Amino acid sequence: MLLSGTLQRCRLSASTVPRQPRPSVARRALREETPEQKRERQLRESARVEERITYIQNADHFKREIEAAGKKLVVVEAQAEGVCMTGLDEEPELHWKGDKEAALRPCENIKHTFVRTARECQDVVFLSLQADDEEVADLCDELGIEVIPTLQFWRNGAKIWEHKGIMNMDQDLGEGVLFFNGSAAGGVQAGDFVTELHSEEEMQAFIASQSDSVLTVVDICLSDAAPCIRVYPAVLALARSFKGYAAFGRVVADQSDAGRELLRDYNVVEVPTFLFFKNGREVDRHVGSSRGDLIGKIMEVQSRFGVAPPPPPGGAQPRRTIQRRVTRKARA
């Protein structure tokens, strides 16, 4: 009886609440996009993104764009319809054996990746060379482009790095933009987590500014070394994860005389080399581009010097706290 009475009161209470009139189906439809409207909006958005990419017409056009970019990073994409080379020394005969459409699909995909990267990285200049055009093909020859597709990275009027062929091109596109420009997806700026250092004086000042409870890690790298470029996303990820527990700096040693001198002074013969400092002195180093090995080395050095590691992700609660919650729930 009590249960039925409670249900009755719930029904009465609900019936006394005035209901808001629902919009008609027609009105709701007006608020929603039709497929045609959605397609038009997507085309407008794509057009705005395409404006971020300059399609080069000839050598003079390319030189003007490079000069106008100045100190900005410039990413140059060279591509052609119906051509998708791997960049391997022995190029597979992809275009006349097997499924040609499947063979060309990776190069179609990289075009979309290039567009998305241009949309994300507003402070980078993106140029596209369509090698099907005769004048642009001549420019590709002038730039030493022998493999389609190719990515080139330019700054201050000079080429600073190049990736040939579709193999790992999407990965190297993102890693190159991050390494040379410090821009990551979602508006993340590497400089907020990894301090750029240009000389031993700057490095020593950076080390001295850290508290005794923090391990200092300095990445010594070169701008033309692929392992340095490819490990940098991991360095950034670690710097974010270990913030407050380890401080990360980076020296791109071939960009200045002071950087090259630092290489000699610290006897760095392979890159990337990671120097570990505690209380102002070097206590260890790690050579190599393996993220797992780098994490292991950081944890090892932290443990050796009693530096607290960062808490595990997810904020897991201690078992005792969980047990207390279960006990309280049972008593209730």
DSSP character string of 69-120: HTTS-EEEEEE-TT------SS---TTTSS-HHHHHHHHHHHHHHHHHHHHH
Q: Specify which residues 161 forms β-bridges with.
A: 153
For 140-196, what is each residue's pLDDT tens digit? 999 999 999 999 999 999 999 999 999 999 999 999 999 999 987 677 889 999 999
Domains, the chain, with CATH or none: 50-88+101-187 (3.40.30.10), 190-304 (3.40.30.10)
The DSSP bridge pattern shows strands 74-79 and 150-155 to be antiparallel
Task: Quick: pLDDT tens for 219-237.
Answer: 999 999 999 999 999 999 9
Global pTM reads 0.75
The widest CA-to-CA distance across the chain, in whole angstroms, is 92
* Token pair 């193999």 in the structure block, residue: 167
